[in-house]
Amino acid sequence: MSASTATLRSEWAKLTSVRSTGWTLFCAFAVTVAFGTLISALSNSGFDDLSQQDKLSFDAAGTSFTGGILGQLAMIAFGVMVIGGEYSSGVIRNSLAAVPRRGLFYASKLAVATGAALVVSLVTSFASFYAGQAVLGSHSTTIGSDNVLRALFGAALYMTLMAVFSMGVATMLRSSILSMGILMPFFFLVTQILVTVPGAKKVAHYLPDQAGTTMARVVAQPEVPYGPGGGLLVMLAWVAAAVVGGYLVIRNRDA
């Protein structure tokens, strides 16, 4: 068995043996679907009260993905726990002693966790869509409509990339508490406030979660200076910076 295969199997065993990571992924699924369905139901009941312009720009698919605003927090927690848990418990010392090639260790951990996050995100995305459309009634759309399938995969990729971004940040900070203390309030409150402030809105559009939201929309938002493809590029830039930063830290600093 090659070193890469052995390390991947080891990381998979770690991931599946810790109950908290599994529960966190389940929470990401449940919260996203439940909240998206609720917003879809409310949108359906209040559709007649919308202005004519809002009715014409109504995004049925995007509405069913609004649960991602909360679901991403669970994915952030998952990403932080995958990395930060080893630092908090001190297990990281044993892990690096068993796998001296730190680049291999880091890449394997990212690969296993990213794969798990992607599978859950895909299931969540499709479940959110069908649940949301079921309660939207006559205002719903179908998976075969223009750009809907692209938005489905975009929503799944968005949640997955948030988990990877969080893993990179947790590796740089080497602490679950510190990572959660920064990422949770930032994405739950700060970015949501910044995007409503006229002076900060232009900058806020280039934050990871705002770019990711664009990937899950079918109808373009006039105030956003890029489309789904641009949102993906912005997110990838943030994720790349976090992952590279994490690699530099784990390579150059002792556990």
Lowest mean pLDDT among 19-28, 36-45, 135-144, 215-224: 215-224
Residue 103: per-residue pLDDT: 85
Residue 1: per-residue pLDDT: 60
Instruction: Pick 217 or 85 by higher pLDDT.
Output: 217
Contact 34, 188 (CB under 8 A): no
Residue 94: per-residue pLDDT: 78
- Is the pLDDT at 38 greater than 70? The verdict is yes
Task: For residue 169, give the nearest of 249, 105, 108 by alpha carbon.
Answer: 249
- Domain-wise residue ranges, the chain: 3-252
Residue 255: per-residue pLDDT: 59
The pTM is what?
0.92
**pLDDT level of residue 91 (50, 70, 90 thresholds):** confident
Burial 206-244 (b: 16+ CB within 10 A, else e): bbbbbbbbbbbbbeeeeebebebebbbebbbebbeebbe
What's the sign of the alpha-carbon dihedral 48, 53, 56, 57?
Answer: negative
**pLDDT level of residue 126 (50, 70, 90 thresholds):** very high
**pLDDT level of residue 167 (50, 70, 90 thresholds):** very high
Lowest mean pLDDT among 53-62, 117-126, 140-149, 159-168: 53-62
